[in-house]
Amino acid sequence: MRIKNKTKAMKLLFDLHSHTSASQDGYSTLLENITFARGRGLMAYGISEHSGGLPVAARQGAFDNLKVVPREVDGLKIYRGVETNIIDYKGGTDLDRELVLPRVDYVIASLHPPCLRPGSVTENTDALIGAMAFPEVAIIGHPDDSRYPLDYEALILAAKETGKLLELNNSSLLPRCGRQNGPENVREMLLKCAEHGARIVVNSDSHICFDVGRFDEAEALLAELDFPSDLIANVDLTRLSWVGLEAIDT
Ligand SMILES: [Zn+2]
Ligand SMILES: [Zn+2]
């Protein structure tokens, strides 16, 4: 009989999806976000500003100058990411391969209504599976929005095959979230991930410092479902390598 590692009381060590005021819908500075990341006991933290054609995208200068962002602050490892937009049902994105991709450590690919009109279940699912085929895409952001209904069985089998991480987005579990039916969709996604052995990463998708490293709702759901810890990236710093990031020795 397989003995599962319980997720209860398990510490999530990093948060790789967050926005600063460089994104037009972000309210906090990098320093404020770092302060909350450290306060919540994170060991690694990533900024992932909106990019491309999203109306709230950061200006190009915010990507040009990522080099000034320190790699570590008071023991907190800092990563430079980007949240890119999927713009067709084949999974193409509007990531700038010359001006943004070389400057970031990892890429989150997400569906956002201003960038792709919601399609059929097949179209939406194909869009996410297509995005997984791009080597630079490490994480599929918030695949939990009923505005973009999905075939979770197909999505999760593709994620397992490609090794790409599906995001458990804590913001999607909050009542204020603009995405639809997040809690129900996340639950379905997690049950199928556990069934098939597909990996996930828990992220806050914070747009204000108070939410950085806030995983309360996600942790409660993981515990309720007894989700296997061996599929959760955040519980072990060496699993930063699942996102293509240099692992941290502990
Ligand atoms: Zn997003
Ligand atoms: Zn985001």
List pLDDT tens digits, range 195-214.
999 999 999 999 999 999 99
Provide the 10 A C-beta neighbour count for residue 60.
12
Characterize the bridge pairing of strands 106-110 and 137-140.
parallel
Q: List the shell of residues around ion ligand 1, using CB closer than 5 Å.
A: 110
Distance 56 CA to ligand 1 centre (A): 11
Query: What pLDDT score does 89 carry?
Result: 98
Q: What pLDDT, on the 0 to 100 scale, is given for residue 15?
A: 98
Q: How far is the CA of 73 from the centre of ligand 2 (A)?
A: 22
3-state secondary structure at position 144: coil
Query: For the chain, what percentages of helix, strand and coil (3-state, to nearest 5) are there?
Result: 35, 20, 45
29-49, pLDDT tens digit by residue?
999 999 999 999 999 999 999
pLDDT tens, position by position, 119-175: 999 999 999 999 999 999 999 999 999 999 999 999 999 999 999 999 999 999 999
Interval between CA 1 and ligand 1 midpoint (Å):
39
If you measure from the C-alpha of residue 119 to the centroid of ligand 1, how many angstroms do you get, rounded to a whole number?
A: 17
- Count of helices and strands (H, E) across the chain: 6, 8
Residues 60 and 65: their CA atoms lie apart, in Å, by 9
**pLDDT of 10:** 85
Q: What is the pLDDT of residue 248?
A: 59
Q: Minimum-distance ligand to the CA of 81?
A: 2
What ligand is nearest to the CA atom of residue 26? 2
What separation in Å is there between the alpha carbon of 178 and the centre of ligand 2? 12
CA of 211 to the centre of ligand 2 (A): 12
The ligand minimizing its distance to the Cα of 211 is 2
Instruction: Using pLDDT thresholds of 50, 70 and 90, give the confidence band for residue 104.
Output: very high
Q: For residue 83, how far is its CA from the centre of ligand 2 (angstroms)?
A: 6
Tell me: pLDDT of 247 over 80.
no
Distance 4 CA to ligand 2 centre (A): 31
Cα 28 to middle of ligand 2, angstroms: 14
Torsions phi, psi for 69 (to 5 deg): -75, 120
| pTM reported for the whole predicted model | 0.95
The pLDDT-based confidence of 226 (bands split at 50, 70, 90) is very high
| Domains defined along the chain, listed by start | 14-243 (3.20.20.140)
Q: What pLDDT does 9 receive?
A: 63
